[in-house]
Chain A
Amino acid sequence: MTGYFIRRLLLIIPTFLGITLMVFAITRFVPGGPIDRALAQAQAASESAEFQSSRPGDSTSILSESQLNQLREYYGFDKPLLESYVQWLGKVVQFDLGVSTRYAEPVWQTIADRLPVSLYYGFVTLVLTYMVCIPLGIWKGIKHAGTFDHLSSAVVFIGYAVPGYIVGIALLTAFASEIELFPLGGFASDDFDDFTLWEQVKDIVWHSVLPLISYMVGSFAVMTFMVKNSLMDNLAADYVRAAMARGRTFGGAVWHHALRNSLIPLATHFGNNIGIVLTGSFLIETIFNINGFGLLGYEAVVERDYPVVLGILVISSMLFLIGNILSDLCVALVDPRVRFQ
């Protein structure tokens, strides 16, 4: 088993290389990269200059060949793909992700600025989702086809059918605009730094109620029904009946026997959820004006801020790869039949 996990850890290396090489190559070929942008900017600048001086422009390129070469060198586009990839990788393994072309600051800095916000939302969403979905699924499973089951199913399915950002807009309109119960957005109040610790906690919670609901509605249905269906399968299993034939009460058979078995499917999901923790959702972040990872990634792609794009990719792909191994580990922990070779 230890051997299995060591092999899985080693497999991260080629997978990671594959993912990053592919995205690295894409950054080379997608139009609108930094060189194109520099050209466009120079063009725009010279056109406005021309307009002011109303002098007819000459037909030569805005930037000279030597200027272009300088730019290519600056962005590392002057070398062949593989060579510059290796160069980039060499820096990555030394934890150097380069400098953001948009913010002109180290990528680590850009990411670190957003990290607390994203971690907060990611982990709180994850924990709350588990805390709500597991008991809800269990309750629905035990009270299958009762009034509570039907009503909660209706709510959960509506939540599943409506995308999180729509829920966000609806919540914002209703509870922040019409009834001014919650703030319109942001991670914390402007005068956050002047608050006492307790006020700070309250402030963050107050700001995060609506975004958290928007984050959670989507995953609710999947998780709740996974727990419910899996519990119902196990309730019908012979071993539950056998436990009751030994004198267990129904509740005792659920608690001592069915429950752990029905959480096995959740364990397989756990790792994936870890990966999703950081990626966030740029739509929800935009709506609630939260400066997190989702927004950063989206803007970096649009602005062709390649060092940031690649930096986020490095972090999120590592999380996904490690998350997968964590899933296996969780499954092996809860299910003694699983022995990885």
Chain B
Amino acid sequence: MAANLLDVDNLSVSFTTEAGEARVLDAVSFSIARGETLGLVGESGCGKSVTSLALMRLLPQPSGHITGGDIRLDGDSLLKKSIRDMHAIRGPRIGMIFQDAMTALNPVKRIREQLKESLTLHGQKLSKAAIQARCIELLGDVGIPEPALRLDDYPHQLSGGMRQRVMIAMALAGDPDLLIADEPTTALDVTVQAQILSLIQSIQAAHGMAVIFITHDLGVVEPLCQRVAVMYAGRIVETAPAQALFRDPKHPYTQGLLNSIPRLDREPLTPLPTIEGLVPSALNMPNGCRFAPRCPRATDRCTAEAPSMQTTSDRTLACHEVSL
């Protein structure tokens, strides 16, 4: 058996748009061990959702395509799998929860109908009573009160937090080895966010599944994740164990992100530091380091030449100016 559950190896993704070919992911690499939680962090539009969809081979068709690299689950290349094999992987091997549970649930179908799919789509022969019992159990597991009644509800009858719990229950139903959570708390109130985060944490502990936790908010990563991959404009710029990253961020972009987290120990009434400038467009990427135009430490070399990946046993870094 391969050492890692998932290896993403120089994955590149392009979209065919009216304005031309947009290379949205450029040689993205990271890996996850069994039972590990990886935080995938970056500003909006850097390619986090595209990464997660590429892992599921669910990129928008026909515009999105994987142009290079490989994705290996337990050493098996997902890109070589037939569509039929992918159907068997989606659900029981890799589960996914989405940013906005309102739009990720079919508005015209009852919760039962949608939850049931996760139980019956993969060849299991379950009696009606067994399905009902399992659905109730699943909703109970994700902390939904009166689960038997909620099964008859339509998505719009539930609150945002409850809907996200339903999504989590659906992903759990397949008992996947890997759970991809794409900004699962972004659409929720802060208090509900905290509940969902701790739910994911406890589920992860109970089931021992690996989790890719995608967020644009470094603040929620520290308690949840063992390792963090920082993404900028379609590239991974730094990966590190979570504690090491927070203690000693290497990449100027990571430093910028950490500085812009609001903190209680900061001097009151001082403006929150931000990263100047804008994310480059996928149609018009800088030649060298993509962060160079916004980087306080950029040199001529940074604008001319893309940095190669430095690696140590537990960290990676793509920067000319800093070394590991």
Given contacts A246-B90, A247-B91, A248-B117, contact A336 B154 (CB under 8 A): yes
Judge if B72 is at the interface, Cβ distance under 8 Å: no
CB-CB nearest in chain A for B84: A249
The residue among B58, B62, B92 with the most chain A CB atoms within 10 A of its own CB is B58
Binds B, one of A22-30, A45-53, A231-239: A231-239
Please, how many angstroms separate the alpha-carbon atoms of A9 and B304 in the complex?
A: 74
Are A334's CB and B108's CB within 8 A? yes
A79 CA to B122 CA, complexed, in Å: 79
Contact of A246 with B170 in the complex, beta carbons under 8 Å: yes
Annotate B70-110 by CB proximity to A: 1 below 8 A, 0 otherwise: 00000000000001000110111001101010011111110
A264 to B90, CA, bound (A): 29
Q: In this assembly, does B60 line the interface, its C-beta being within 8 Å of a C-beta of chain A?
A: yes
Distance, CA A247 to CA B91, complexed state (A)? 5
The answer to whether the Cβ of B254 comes within 8 Å of any Cβ in the partner chain is no
| B56 located at the interface, meaning its Cβ lies under 8 Å from any Cβ of chain A in the complex | yes
Q: How many B residues, CB 8 Å from partner?
A: 34
- Asked if residues B121 and A248 are in contact (CB atoms below 8 Å), the reply is yes
Given contacts A260-B108, A335-B108, are A238 and B100 in contact (CB under 8 A)?
yes
Greatest chain B CB density within 10 A among A239, A249, A334 is at A239
The residue that A245 contacts in the complex, of B90, B106, B107, with Cβ under 8 A, is B90
Q: Which of A145, A238, A260, A261 is B104 in contact with, Cβ under 8 Å? A: A238
Is there contact, CB below 8 Å, between A239 and B104?
Answer: yes
Q: Which residue of B lies closest to A245 (CB)?
A: B96
- Tell me whether B58 and A239 are in contact (CB under 8 A): no
Q: Does B297 contact A (CB under 8 A)?
A: no
CB distance from A239 to the nearest CB of B (A): 4
Instruction: Answer yes or no: A241 CB below 8 A from chain B CBs.
Output: yes
Contact of B87 among A241, A247, A256, A260 (CB under 8 A): A247
Which residues of chain B have C-beta atoms less than 8 A from A269's C-beta?
A: none
A337 touching B107, Cβ below 8 Å:
yes
Instruction: State the CA gap A246–B104 with chains docked (Å).
Output: 12
Q: Does B211 have its Cβ within 8 Å of any Cβ on chain A?
A: no
B316 at the interface (CB under 8 A from A): no
B residues 101-160 near A (Cβ < 8 Å) are 103-109, 114, 117-118, 121-122, 154, 156
| Chain A, residue nearest B88 (CB) | A247
Shortest distance from the beta carbon of A231 to any chain B beta carbon, whole Å: 14
Contact A245 B58 (CB under 8 A): yes
Tell me the bound Cα distance from A135 to B241 in angstroms. 53
B234 located at the interface, meaning its Cβ lies under 8 Å from any Cβ of chain A in the complex: no
Inter-chain contacts of B100 with A (CB < 8 A): 238
Q: Let me know if B174 is at the binding interface, CB within 8 A.
A: yes
Closest residue on chain B to residue A259 by CB atoms: B108
* Interface assignment of B240: CB less than 8 Å from any CB of chain A: no
Q: Give the docked Cα–Cα distance between A337 and B110 (Å).
A: 11
Chain A residues with CB under 8 Å of B121's CB are 246-248, 252
Q: With a CB–CB cut-off of 8 A, which chain A residues contact B96?
A: 242, 245
CA distance in complex: A276, B50 (Å): 47
How far is it, in angstroms, between the C-alpha of A257 and the C-alpha of B114 when the chains are bound?
A: 9
A145 to B108, CA, bound (A): 28
Closest to A249 in B: B87
Residues of A within 8 A of B87 (CB): 247-249
A242/B98 in contact, CB under 8 A = yes
Say which residue of B62, B95, B156, B174 sits within 8 Å of A337 (CB atoms).
B156
B107 x A261 contact (CB < 8 A): yes
Q: Which residue of A lies closest to B173 (CB)?
A: A246
Q: Which of A241, A245, A248, A257 is B95 in contact with, Cβ under 8 Å?
A: A245
A243 interface hit (Cβ, 8 Å): yes
Which of B60, B118, B173 makes the CB contact (< 8 A) with A236?
B60
> Does A244 make an interface contact (CB < 8 A)?
yes
With a CB–CB cut-off of 8 A, which chain A residues contact B83? 249
Q: How far is the CA of A256 from the CA of B92 in the complex (A)?
A: 20
Is the C-beta of B209 less than 8 angstroms from some C-beta in chain A? no
Known: A241-B58, A334-B108, A336-B156. A246 touches B103 (CB 8 A): no
Query: How far apart are A335's CB and chain B's nearest CB, in angstroms?
Result: 6
Q: Find chain A residues with CB under 8 A from B106 CB.
A: 239, 243, 257, 261
Interface flags for A131-175 (1: CB within 8 Å of B; 0: not) read: 000000000000001000000000000000000000000000000
Complex CA distance for A264 and B108, rounded to whole angstroms: 10
The CA of A214 and the CA of B125, in the complex, are separated in Å by 52
Interface residues of A in 254-291 (CB under 8 A from B): 256-257, 260-261, 264
Contact check, A242 vs B104: say whether CB atoms are below 8 A apart: yes
A336 x B107 contact (CB < 8 A):
yes
Distance in angstroms from B189 CB to nearest chain A CB is 20
Which residues of B6-64 have CB atoms within 8 Å of chain A's CB atoms? 53, 56, 58, 60, 62
A: residues with CB less than 8 A from B are 145, 236-239, 241-249, 252, 256-257, 260-261, 264, 334-337
With A246-B171, A335-B107 given, can you name 13 additional A-B contacts, CB distance below 8 Å? Answer: A243-B106, A244-B56, A245-B91, A246-B90, A246-B91, A246-B117, A246-B121, A247-B87, A247-B91, A249-B87, A256-B117, A261-B107, A337-B108
Pull 5 A–B residue pairs with CB atoms less than 8 Å apart, ordered by A: A238-B100, A239-B105, A241-B104, A246-B170, A246-B171
